[in-house]
Structure formats: structure tokens, C-alpha cells
Amino acid sequence: MAAETAWLRAEHVTKTYGGVRALQDASLQLRPAEIRGLVGANGAGKSTFVKILTGLVAASEGDVLVDGRALPRGRPAESLRAGIAAVPQELMVAPTMTVAENVLLGHEPRGRLGLLERRKLRSRAEQVLRSLGLDIPADEPVGRLSLIEQRLVMIARALSRKARLVIFDEPTATVAPREVDLLVRTVRGLGERGVSVLYVSHRLDEIEQVCDSVTVLRDGRVVAELGRATRRALVEILASGTEGAGRRRDVDEAREPGETVLRLHRVTGERLHEIDLEARAGEVLGLAGLAGSGAREVLLTVCGAAPFTGGDVAIAGRRLASGDPVGAVAAGVGFLPGDRSLAAFPSHSVRHNVSLAALEGLFVRRGAERSEVARLLDLVAARADMEAPISSLSGGNQQKTLLARWLASGSRVLLLDDPTAGVDVATRPEIHQQILRLRSAGAAVLLVSSDIEELVELADRVITFDRGAVSAELTGAALTTPRVLAAMTEKGVSA
């Protein structure tokens, strides 16, 4: 029974920033080997809670107790020593260093004279990797690994520090579906080794799949604690108290799309092979494929971020130069990257962020800019102070703001890369609505998403990619999640 009692307790933790309560009287207990989900809309206090556990932020009230002993507040080194390690949302690896060096970064084995012991470093790293069941070469520079493997290296790093609790903050936000399985298996493996896991995610299916128990936060408070929770139960809890959640698209509204706006003809690039593709005004074209299959690469090629070596890309008959973002934007292309750090200007105001692509002429006309930005923010239902820095907004509101940028510039072709990644459950449908609104306003929307259900729900057509080539096109009744998944994963399957 001793193993069943909680070793870590967060008791009545409160955190106030200025006058805002980010977290209020939140408690959490963790038993050894327990895999606990932490869910809640953005701004519910998840990341604050995580930061208090890891000591990055000092609680205003309440304590985190490890084996009954309170951790000093706001001391990351102490939390780490107590066995609390976090695998953050962003990758924090040194790309040119080897896997082994990254795994043991910061606590490398040292011999006499304090010199590095390379052999020991390698064998220890291998031991950790093996215990996780990972087949990653210890001598490989981390930069050469896939993103998911890099993330696994970070997990190995946490373990090598004898972590008793590993916290995952949105681990799958930028991971392809197939790779999620690997991550899920690794997380389960941690539990089997007696390590506790706190799994923070918006993806409720993952929570259902992985977690033994779930804590739900809303407005800084713990509103529910569940044992094994189904996705449906979680959606209900999360959706209660939020309006308009889960609004579905009316399938019958499908109407005749307009003329062809975007045409790719035999486009070949580093990861694309002779792609032919057309998108018409007023349609949402879904692009599906595993990481590296070419779906995302099409977006990068059209927006000018990746060059193409053959074929041509044309917007409304006008050919685009290869690797020329300025020309692409001028031709009416708007690209919303999946990684918001590639789109937002963090220290700039919301106003600057929205208007940037639409500015023309010599001088900025502030009055016109203000009223236009206000109109657009209203349109996309972003709750944001125009003059506040964009980095002060929640992920969902940032995404809406960045969408407003391309509304401002009047883009005819919108390239959306995983637009709801890292966006909370309540804001997701709002983003979906915006996408459909763009469609009815006559834009050609190219949508890439790691969430296949999202693609099926929103897209008029879905084109699947495999190894740099189009593998299938699905429309109408054939457009179902299993079909898309099958086409993505089996080469040459046609609808």
C-alpha cells in the first residue's frame, strides 16, 4: 500500500500576476507510476501550474511537497534535485552535439581533474536510451534526428537525472500522427518503470489513451479530477461554461467553388516530385500526409519559404518565382505557419502584427490602420487589446490575430499549417469558423493538419501525399477519416 500513496502533493497553490489570479487554490497528488493528464482551455492555468511544480515560478500561496517536505518556492534547481523534470513544448537540444552529449547535458561524468569522460558519457547515455526502449544511435548529432526523436532525447535527458516525475507540456503539438504512437509508448514505459508523468495536452484522444487519471482546470481552479477519462467526458466538462463550443459545419452549405486561383504544374523541389494541383476560389483543400510526405512542403513552396527546381506555381495565372516570399505575398498568398514563432513579432503590438502585410505606400496612416485592425480583430473574434504585445495573448488569440493579418492584406490563397495546434478546445471551433468564413468569402484555403478529423470536417476535398507525390484525392462520400488515414499510410491507394 505504501507504493500507492502520493509522493508528490501540491497543496492549495495560488499564483497571482499583478492583479490576475492565474491559479487559485489548486491541489494535485501524484502516486508513483501514475500518469496524470492535465487539461484545460488556454489561460486555465496549466502552464502556471507546471512552472510552479518545476520551480520556474514561485507560488504566491501554497506549497509543493515531495515526500512530505515542502520545496522552496521558485527554485528550479531544488525542484530538479527533488526529481521533477519537464520536457518543454519547444525543443531544447544542442543540434550539433551528439545524442549522448545531449542526454547527459549539464551533468556529464567527470574524471579526475574535472575532465570529461567520453566513454562513460556514451555508455551511460546508451543505458538510458535502452531502458526507454529507444533505438537511437548515441553518436549521432541530434540535429540529424527527426523532431520526435529529438523529443525522445529530451525525455532521456530527464530520465538520466533520476527523475521521479516527468512533465510533458503539449508533447504532440508539432508531431505527425504516426509518431505520436512512439511517444505514447515511451510515456507508458515511464509509468512501468515507476516514474510519474504529468501529461499536459489539448489532444483529448491522447489523454484518454495514455492517462490513468485526469485533472481539469478552468479559470485557474481545479474543476474536476477523474479516474480513467473518456474523450467524451472530458469534452463535456471542458465545453460546459463555454459558449458555442463544438459547432459543426453544415454539410449542405457546400456550394459551387469559383475559378481556379492556385495552380501547381509539375512542381518539383527537394521533397516534392512533379506535383500537379489546383485550388479554386471558395474551397478548402485539405492536404494530408505524414511528416516529410510533401503535404506541408506544398505550403512552404507556394509561400516562397522553400524553393522549387522544376515546374511552375501560378496564382490567378501569374507565375511565381521560386523561393520568393515577397512576390508570393504580393500575389495574394498568405501563410500561417504551424509554429507561431515563425509568424508573430513577439515584442510588437497586436496592431503592428495584424497590419504588417497590408502596409502600402511610404507612410503608415495610423488612423486608418487602427480602425481597420479593430474591425478585423472583431471579425475574427480575437479578444485582444490592440496596443498590447502579441506575446501577452493566449495561443488561440495569437492565432486569430495572425489570421487577421492575412485578412488585412486581402489574401486570395491562404496556406494554413496546423492552424489549431496548441490551441485550446474552446477556441478550436472558433478557428474552424474563421476558416469556413474565409472560404465563403471566396478565398482558396489550403489546409494541412495533423488532426485528420479536422481535415475531414473542414475540407471540400482532401489530397493525400506520400513520399513527395500525390497518392490520392478524396471528395464527397469518400472523404472519411479512415479513408484519408489509409491513403496517407499506404502507397498508391486510390479512392
Between 56 and 97, whose beta carbon lies closer to other proteins?
A: 56
The pairing of beta strand 333-336 with beta strand 413-417: parallel
| Buried residues in 216-245 as b, exposed as e (16+ CB within 10 A) | bbbebbbebebeebeeebbeebbbeeeeeb
Looking at beta carbons only, is 222 or 300 nearer to other proteins? Answer: 300
In the complex, least distance from residue 336 CB atom to other proteins, rounded to whole angstroms = 9
Q: 124, 98 in Cβ contact below 8 A?
A: no
CB of 122 to other proteins, least distance (A): 33
* DSSP string computed for 415-448: EEESTTTT--TTTHHHHHHHHHHHHHTT-EEEEE
Q: Output the smallest distance, CB 61 to other proteins, in A.
A: 10
In 56-195, at which residue ranges do the beta strands (DSSP E only) sit? Answer: 61-66, 69-70, 84-87, 165-169
Considering just the CA atoms, what is the radius of gyration of the chain in Å?
24
Closest approach, Cβ 16 to other proteins, in A, equals 6
User: At closest approach, how far in Å is the CB of 359 from other proteins?
Assistant: 4
194: which strand partners?
A: none
Give the residue with the Cβ less far from other proteins, 243 or 347: 347
Q: How far is the CB of 149 from other proteins (least distance, A)?
A: 23
**Per the structure block, which three cell numbers stand in for 323?**
523561393
Give min distance, CB of 357 to other proteins, in A: 5
- Minimum CB–partner distance for residue 345 and other proteins (Å): 4
CB 274 within 8 A of CB 267: yes
Specify the residue, 223 or 314, whose C-beta has the smaller distance to other proteins: 314
Burial 300-336 (b: 16+ CB within 10 A, else e): bbbbbbbebeebebbbeeeebebbeeebbbebbbbbb
**CB closer to other proteins out of 147 and 254:** 147
- Beta-strand ranges (E) seen in 46-125 are 61-66, 69-70, 84-87
Contact 335, 370 (CB under 8 A): no
Nearer to other proteins, 48 or 186 (CB): 48
Residues 290 and 401: beta-carbon distance below 8 Å: no
Q: At what angle do helices 428-440 and 395-408 cross, to 10 degrees?
A: 10
Our CB check for other proteins shows the closer of 347 and 482 to be 347
Nearest distance from C-beta of residue 387 to other proteins, angstroms: 10
Between 19 and 227, whose beta carbon lies closer to other proteins? 19
Minimal distance in Å, beta carbon 325 to other proteins?
5
Whether the CB-CB separation of 55 and 77 falls below 8 Å is answered with yes
Nearest to 375 by CA among 345, 347, 351: 351
Least distance from C-beta 280 to other proteins, angstroms?
23
In 3D space, the residue among 193, 182, 210 whose CA is nearest the CA of residue 158 turns out to be 193
Q: Which is nearer to other proteins, 170 or 466 (CB)?
A: 170
Look up residue 40 and give its three cell numbers. Answer: 484545460
Instruction: Report the residue number, 317 or 347, with the smaller CB distance to other proteins.
Output: 347
Dihedral angle sign, alpha carbons of residues 89, 92, 98, 99: negative
Q: How far is the CB of 168 from other proteins (least distance, A)?
A: 21
Question: Cα separations (Å) of 215 from 66, 168, 220, 383, 456?
Answer: 19, 14, 12, 26, 30
* Euclidean distance between CA atoms 294 and 446, whole angstroms: 13
Three-state secondary structure call for residue 210: helix
Cα–Cα distance for residue pair 318/312, rounded to 1 Å: 10
Choose between 65 and 330: whose C-beta lies nearer to other proteins. Answer: 330
Q: Which residues bind other proteins (CB under 8 A)?
A: 16-19, 56-57, 60, 303, 305, 325-326, 328-330, 335, 337, 341-348, 352, 355-357, 359-364, 389, 391, 405, 409
Nearest residue (CB) to other proteins, 141 versus 327: 327
